[in-house]
Amino acid sequence: MNPRMLTLARDSRGVTQKQLEVGSGVAQSLISKAETGVRQLRDEELRAIADYLRVTPELLSWRDEPYGFGSASFFHRKQQSLSQRILREIQAKVNLLRMRLERLIDGLAVELDRSISRIDLDEVGGPQEAARRLRAAWNVPMGPVNQLVSLVERAGGVVIRRDFATHRINAISIWHPGSMPLFVLNDSLTPERQRFVLAHELGHIVMHEGEPPRDNAEREADLFAEELLMPSAEIRTDLAEIDLRKAAALKPYWQVPMQSLVLRAEHLGTISNSRSRSLHAYMNKLGYLPIEPLPLSREEPTVLADMYRVHLTEHGYSVSELAFVLGMFEDELSAELPKSGQRLTLVR
């Protein structure tokens, strides 16, 4: 048994040691000692805990290293009002996703036509130039970025939507050495907001991966996302004298939230800061900030679903066998199984 995995599995279910005691029948004192590495659990105790947490006993012995919010490889939108319990639960769920992803990748290769590469901000001169260079490297044509989720996945990223049980964290991205970049998006995001948030997290991966945490990282990721989705050279004229009517007309073309268009106009100097604040106040009054009119179609991720499919068809795993490999209960894996998407190829 790995004490860290026991804590991670418990955190992922959002339960305390006391709740685990009640649910599993294993004394809290024993659970505490097991999580600190003072005592190993007996087989029957481990099985009882695993059953309550709905993981396999084998998962509790995985040797993977969890990554926390404070590490350079784990970025998130900081929200000081979030409880530690919620933060620990989200952190644990994302870590388990990453660990399971690494097991799914084994024996597979994605057919890629581009890649996600590190860009040094000091060398290129800022986040806007980093975004321009990425557009060029990915051969993105002039105008809006169509199918951003597909672009990220074709470059080797894995995009997953999950219920964070809070609206205060939009997404988390992590790129563990030797694995694919992982972007976990809050399932509650509107389709247009999902695109901007994914571009923001892509900025973190491209600009900040492997670097010590930066005080202005969030601002840099926002500027990267703006330039990636709304290139200044092309959108500046569109944003002249923008109002809500014009923002609504531009939204379907640029495929970004109306509020993002207003902020972009302010940042490019086509409207004043006071005009931007006034438009945002009006949008808030109309109820547009949480849910805007003219919603876009949602871009659906496909890579994780196709990883499942390849293992179940080409590799010949049963659902039960694959669930065992991933340390999951069969019914939870079945709920995630796919519909359709891009094909992956076997490594031979």
pLDDT tens column, 190-210:
999 999 999 999 999 999 987
Each residue's pLDDT tens digit, 313-329:
999 999 999 999 999 99
Are 208 and 252 within one domain?
A: no
Query: In the predicted model, what is the mean pLDDT of residues 28-35?
Result: 97
pLDDT over 90 for what percent of the chain?
A: 79
Tokens of 275: 């005009």
My answer on whether 167 and 103 are in the same domain is yes
Same domain, 31 and 79: no
Domain total for the chain?
Answer: 4
Same domain, 18 and 160: no
Residues 221 and 270 in one domain: no
Containing structural domain, residue 177 = 68-229
Mean pLDDT of the chain: 91
List of long-range contacts for 248-255, beta carbons under 8 Å, 24+ apart = 248/293, 248/294, 251/192, 251/292, 251/294, 251/296, 252/294, 252/296, 253/143, 253/144, 254/144, 254/229, 254/230, 255/144, 255/145, 255/146, 255/192, 255/195, 255/229, 255/296
Residues 198 and 135 in one domain: yes
State the DSSP string of 168-204.
S--EEEE--TTS--EEEEETTS-HHHHHHHHHHHHHH
Please write the tens of the pLDDT for every residue from 290-307. 899 999 999 999 999 999
**Domain match, 291 and 312 both:** no
Q: Is the pLDDT of residue 346 over 50?
A: no
Do 110 and 204 fall into the same domain?
Answer: yes
- Domain boundary among the residues 186, 209, 229 is at 229
Listed residues 30, 63, 96: the one ending a domain: 63
**E runs forming strands in 131-279:** 158-162, 171-174, 182-186
- In tens, the pLDDT along 161-186 reads 999 888 888 999 988 777 889 999 99
Claim to verify: residue 164 and residue 114 sit in the same structural domain: yes
Euclidean distance between CA atoms 188 and 194, whole angstroms: 9
Which of the 8 DSSP states describes residue 66? Answer: P
116 lies in the same domain as 243: no
Is the confidence at residue 233, as pLDDT, over 70?
A: yes
- CATH number for position 57: 1.10.260.40
Residues 281 and 188 in one domain: no
Does one domain contain both 160 and 309? no
Beta sheet of 158-162, edge-to-edge order: 74-76, 171-174, 182-186, 158-162
